[in-house]
Chains A and B, each alone.
Chain A
């Protein structure tokens, strides 16, 4: 077993353990922190696959943005120290069985299938990503890029409008 393999197993263990703790912890703040470690583990997996750009995007957007936003909203909506209610036995049993059987089914399908590599991955430089992102020829990604930029603007305005405090006397 090489060092590369050991690092993969460590990262995979970190991701799965912190993911499982994030969905099962009874304290909401702790489960947000477990989610944070899971996101860092996924960024480490992207580093392991040598996709440095996506790992950087993952850290900036997820770890630095989404998880911090979730922690802020926990502080706005929960009293610190109060536990979440335990899910009913029936619900957790059936949810666990459903996800376990679905996982086994998917894993069987993946094991039966044989994957054929099309061609090996070349070097993934940021220059290549940027040129492909603004490429307007066949197979380029400039249209989704522009659509996502408009979507982000719409989401930003929508968030401000929804979360704004409305004064009922003025309407």
Chain B
């Protein structure tokens, strides 16, 4: 069987749900951020695969991937700034302990 779109979709779907599992089980902010990065990468694989196999005349999937990578970099930088700030106040980064804004 020739390798085509379904193989790539299998990889990206599996990677996405691995990220979902990590996001649901981890309670540490940095590891949750890593799970989110895995999910974003699965989405990128999807965009690139659809662009390659179904919509070759245009470059929309490629551009979505490039913009997602740029926005993910910005998001990670802001998230890590917030995490370091929380660590200064609470001296750990467990999501259960960061409840100062809870009413």
Binding site for B on A (CB under 8 A): 4-5, 8, 12, 15-16, 19-20, 22-24, 28, 31-32, 35, 38-39, 42, 45-46, 49, 51, 53-54, 57-58, 61-62, 65-66, 69-70, 73-74, 76-77, 84-85, 87, 91-92, 94-96, 98-100, 102-103, 106-107, 110-111, 115-122, 124, 128-129, 132-133, 139, 141, 144, 148, 151-152, 155-156, 158-160, 162-163, 165
Binding site for A on B (CB under 8 A): 2-3, 5-11, 13-15, 17-22, 24-28, 30-31, 33-35, 37-38, 41, 44-45, 48-49, 51-59, 62-63, 65-67, 69-78, 80-85, 87-88, 92-93
Given contacts A91-B25, A107-B13, A116-B54, contact A73 B3 (CB under 8 A): no
Q: Name the distance in Å between A69's Cβ and chain B's nearest Cβ.
A: 6
Q: How far is the CA of A54 from the CA of B52 in the complex (A)?
A: 12
- Which of the residues A5, A19, A77, A160 comes within 8 Å of B93, measured between beta carbons? A77
Collect the chain A residues with CB atoms within 8 Å of residue B11's CB: 12, 15-16, 45
Contact of A16 with B26 in the complex, beta carbons under 8 Å: no
Collect the chain B residues with CB atoms within 8 Å of residue A77's CB: 30, 83-84, 87, 92-93
Residue in B5, B69, B72 with the greatest tally of chain A CB atoms within 10 Å: B69
Q: How far is the CA of A129 from the CA of B65 in the complex (A)?
A: 12
Contact of A103 with B14 in the complex, beta carbons under 8 Å: yes
Contact of A92 with B93 in the complex, beta carbons under 8 Å: no
CB closest residue in chain B, given A94: B24
Contact of B70 with A148 in the complex, beta carbons under 8 Å: yes
Contact of B81 with A163 in the complex, beta carbons under 8 Å: yes
Contact of A54 with B82 in the complex, beta carbons under 8 Å: no
Collect the chain A residues with CB atoms within 8 Å of residue B58's CB: 139
Contact of B69 with A158 in the complex, beta carbons under 8 Å: no
Contact of A22 with B45 in the complex, beta carbons under 8 Å: no
CB closest residue in chain B, given A120: B56
Q: Name the distance in Å between A124's Cβ and chain B's nearest Cβ.
A: 7
Collect the chain B residues with CB atoms within 8 Å of residue A32's CB: 34
Which 8 A-B pairs have CB atoms at the shortest separation, nearest pair first?
Answer: A23-B22, A121-B56, A95-B24, A155-B74, A163-B81, A99-B17, A159-B81, A162-B81
Contact of B63 with A115 in the complex, beta carbons under 8 Å: no
CB closest residue in chain A, given B59: A132
Contact of B31 with A23 in the complex, beta carbons under 8 Å: yes
